[in-house]
Amino acid sequence: MNNKKVCTISYGCQMSERDSETLTAISNNMGYSRTNDPAEADLVIINTCCVRESAENKIIGKIGQLKHMKDKKPSLIIAVAGCMVQQPGILEKLQKRAPHVDIWTGTFDYHKFEELLQTSQEGKKIACISEKETEVSEAVPLAEKGKLRVNVNIMYGCDNYCAYCIVPYVRGRERSRPKQIILDEIKSLVDSGCREVTLLGQNVNSYGKKDGFDYDFSDLLQEIDKIDGLFRVRFMTSHPKDLSDQLIAAVAGGEHLCEHFHLPFQAGSNHILEAMNRNYTREYYLERVHRILEEIPAARLTTDIIVGFPGETEEDFEQTLDLVRTVPFTQAFTFMYSKRSGTAAAGLPDQIPLEVKKRRLQKLMEVQNARSLAWRNNMLDQHYEILVEGQSKTNPESLTGRTRGNEIVVFKGSEDLIGKLINVRIDSANSWTLFGTMM
């Protein structure tokens, strides 16, 4: 009897999480069962991120810890995959630092993972890092069946080259999956119990534009909205410059399309937006927000913001704060600028001192957290439809779910409610979570 187990440890964005599921699924097909405990695994997969230096340092530390496990269990296979490995010129440095790793593979070669694992099982170390993206491979399992909520890739790569971002260099140029393949995958997932999908792409708004499709993202959404048994459809991430009126209208008219737009603005100053190569202005961003709220008054808006980009003045930062005070964001993911070698911004003059970035980040968080709390307090005593996801991580005696606007709600209820849509009255709130009573 085969008792081999695989443990996958994922760092980074939802796209990385989706890739981790692909690698896990390939391992499952080769006889490995899943475990969340690296100590009992026969195969440990580290799927990496390189967006920020702090993430890389954490990953390198984790890879180092695995050496002690391999010393105790020489048969353990260690695979390191993902964005950090894909960076040009990094593989040799990583191999010298971690000779105990058996498999190295980048973001363009996941469809080869079965072959790499077979080679490793023969006792050979192997590295497979293609320098250029390939066509989308549909030959590998792309989404896990049997889960209530599933991430589904609709495209890969990015063509935007924001000055601070390494993603286009490690995930390649944009390429989209055909509509019918995506529809068939989601239908199969729904048949196995999925009730909510999140459509993933570095910029879903540009889906299909360079692939010669005679349909766009709004058309895809409307087709997915028709799938029987699917309760909710989400998507991320949306680049503001490609947010079309057709997309807003599709969400406004959709039955299962959630009224939630994650729309990163990154900076409130046109001077900084231009330096970031974001290809829109503050005024354009505000016009798109106005159009969303005009068409969908109940829409929820979340965003990403970077402080301390090279050359950011106090006036530039105040414009970011002003935009946060202007737009009713329910939540913001805030970051200090982190220099990444290989990006355009890494060589810019006027790098901002760390203490200044920390001060600005703290001020930004104070402003947005107060806004988020005020928004949630306005939800008190109102009823919302919740998709029940499971047991609360912070209170095992309660359940957790989300509104269509992606707000997390904790409430009392029995486990037989998991996977169902229910109504909850909101009783109390903090900056991140709502607490309610099932009606």
Cα dihedral 269, 272, 276, 280, rounded to 10, equals: 30
Q: What is the pLDDT of residue 143?
A: 65
CB atoms near residue 381 (< 10 Å): 9
pTM: 0.91
Residues forming a β-bridge with 236? 200
* pLDDT tens track for 333-367: 999 998 888 899 999 999 999 999 999 999 999 99
pLDDT at residue number 131: 81
The full DSSP string for 244-299 is -HHHHHHHHH-SSB-SEEE---B-S-HHHHHHHT----HHHHHHHHHHHHHH-TT-
pLDDT at position 282: 98
Q: Write the CA distances from 347 to 164, 173, 339, integer angstroms.
A: 10, 23, 9
Q: What pLDDT, on the 0 to 100 scale, is given for residue 141?
A: 59
Q: Is the peptide bond before 237 cis (omega within 30 degrees of 0)?
A: yes
Q: How far apart are CA 262 and CA 238, in angstroms?
A: 6
List domains and CATH numbers for the chain: 5-128 (3.40.50.12160), 149-377 (3.80.30.20), 383-438 (2.40.50.140)
Give bridge partners of residue 155 from the DSSP assignment.
176
What local confidence, expressed as pLDDT, does residue 139 receive?
Answer: 63
Mean pLDDT, the chain, whole residue set: 93
For 5, phi and psi rounded to 5 degrees? -130, 150
- Beta strands 421-429 and 433-438 are antiparallel
Q: What is the pLDDT of residue 88?
A: 83
Closest CA to 343 of 158, 193, 119, 217: 158
pLDDT at 133: 77
What pLDDT was estimated at residue 238? Answer: 94
Task: Give the full edge-to-edge strand order of the sheet including 77-82.
Answer: 33-34, 5-10, 43-48, 77-82, 103-105, 126-128
Per-residue pLDDT, averaged over 78-104, amounts to: 92
**Cα distances (Å, whole numbers) of residue 411 to 46, 148, 239, 260:** 34, 19, 34, 22
Of the candidate ranges 132-141, 310-319, 396-405, the one whose mean pLDDT is the lowest: 132-141
> Which residue, 32, 33, 93, is CA-closest to 63?
93
pLDDT tens-digit readout, 285-328: 999 999 999 999 999 999 999 999 999 999 999 999 999 999 99
Mean pLDDT within 360-375: 96
Asked whether the predicted pLDDT for residue 187 surpasses 60, the reply is yes
Q: Which residue has the higher pLDDT, 285 or 135?
A: 285
pLDDT in tens, 206-228: 999 988 899 999 999 999 999 99
Residue 51 or residue 433, greater confidence: 433
Q: For the chain, give the number of residues.
A: 439
Helix count and strand count (H, E) for the chain: 13, 19
Q: Is residue 380 within 8 Å of 428, Cβ to Cβ?
A: yes
User: Would you place residue 1 in the very low, low, confident or very high pLDDT band (cuts 50, 70, 90)?
Assistant: very low
- The residue among 197, 175, 200, 178 whose CA lies nearest residue 186 is 197
> What are the pLDDT digits (tens) for 257-277?
999 999 999 999 999 999 999
User: Pick from 323, 218, 350: which is nearest to 266 by CA?
Assistant: 323
- The token pair at 88 is 């040009």
- Give the per-residue pLDDT at 142: 63
- What pLDDT shows up at residue 140? 66
- Alpha-carbon span 293 to 143, nearest angstrom: 33
Report the pLDDT value the prediction gives residue 113, as an integer from 0 to 100.
93
Give me the mean pLDDT over the 9-29 stretch. 90
CA 340, CA 55: separation in Å to the nearest integer? 12
What residue type is assigned to position 283 of the chain? E
CA-CA-CA-CA torsion for 26, 156, 229, 302, nearest 10 degrees? 120
Instruction: Provide the sign of the torsion angle of the four alpha carbons 96, 102, 106, 107, taken in this order.
Output: negative
Does residue 155 surpass a pLDDT of 50?
yes
CB 336 within 8 A of CB 370: no
pLDDT for residue 134 is more than 80: no
